[in-house]
Amino acid sequence: MLHLRVTSPSDRSSHVLRILTEERGATHVTLAVGVSVDPAGDVIEADVTRGCANDVLSALTELDIARTGSITIEPTGTVLSDAADRADRASRTRSDEAVVWDQLLAHMRAGARLTPVFMVFLTIAFLLSAVGMATASQLTLVGAMVVGPEFRPLAALAVGIVRRDAELMRSAARTLAISFPVAMVVTALATMLWIRLGWIGTGDVENARAFDFIYEVGPFSLVVALLAGAAGMLALVTSTSTVLVGVFISVTTVPAAGLAVVAMFAGKWNVALSSFGQLSVNLIGIVAAGVVVLLVLQRIGRRGQLKRAS
């Protein structure tokens, strides 16, 4: 379930209460009159099932609550309540199938932005992948996969496509188009420094032969990207963060980009081109799988609404 907290002007609180009390998927409705100072008004709280959250949020938006007050929604955690069980059974869509679009869009808009923190994480991931290649360290490569934050803008791009949100798509595409080249340039400069210091040699790129799955494009490259994209999108929708870690480890997006940089310094242009091919397959596959998953969940949600209306 999700916990809903609404700060409402006093003259609209009765309408908010009616929306929540008439919704079978909402329970534990409480009212605190006049406790909000800024914005002034009442505070109304309730627990709502994911299956009914979209309708509740849509009704509250029509009341202009987001402009005159505020709407906060977050996971409730463990709820021990017969009323909550009844509300969950009354929901027209199973909780694990429901997409709370307003919540997802808010997360995706934040994830699509190019921020200094995002750039630092991506650059560190690229540097780790370059070190992992030069030293044939599998643990370092796994660390690079986990640190890489590239899944967030990729997921945002998929959400933008499904919701036809041009601004979200532009923001995600801009983040990917700027961050990857910048991180690769920094990695190239670091590689030059390491070569001058004698820490690594141009021949160390031959270590990549031990990790040919990273740069050799094959049918399973696309299969893995599609499976990872589907699992990652489901994890975002259901707020299952532990699954996302597995998604990060399963795809070789960052290692492929890092290897491409090292391979160019070593003059291994076939390895560099193959790495760029692997990178492209991963990016396209993750976005395509995310779009398909969201379309399926969107269709299930609409079917649930029609069933309830009938």
The pair phi, psi for residue 182, each rounded to 5°, is -65, -45
Of the candidates 260, 282, 258, the residue with the CA atom closest to the CA atom of residue 273: 260
158-212 confidence digits (pLDDT tens): 999 999 999 999 999 999 999 999 999 999 899 888 888 888 766 655 555 556 6
Average pLDDT for 268-280: 84
Dihedral sign, Cα of residue 10, residue 15, residue 17, residue 20 = negative
Distance CA 209, CA 268 (A): 12
Predicted confidence at residue 158, as pLDDT, reads 95
| Least reliable range by pLDDT among 21-25, 237-241, 244-248, 272-276 | 244-248
Share of the chain above pLDDT 90, in %: 42
198-256 confidence digits (pLDDT tens): 887 666 555 555 566 666 777 888 898 899 899 889 888 876 665 666 666 667 788 88
Question: Do 27 and 84 form a contact (C-beta atoms < 8 A)?
Answer: yes
117-130 confidence digits (pLDDT tens): 999 999 999 999 88
Of the candidates 260, 250, 252, the residue with the CA atom closest to the CA atom of residue 282: 252
Predicted confidence at residue 161, as pLDDT, reads 95
Question: Do 22 and 87 form a contact (C-beta atoms < 8 A)?
Answer: no
78-106 confidence digits (pLDDT tens): 888 888 888 888 776 666 667 888 889 98
Distance CA 152, CA 241 (A): 12
For 104-143, b/e burial (b = at least 16 CB within 10 A) is: bbebbbebbbbeeebbebbbbbbbbbbbbbbeeeeebbeb
Mean pLDDT of the chain: 85
Average pLDDT for 271-278: 85
Q: Which two tokens stand for residue 31?
A: 């009212």
Identity (one letter) of the amino acid at 167?
E
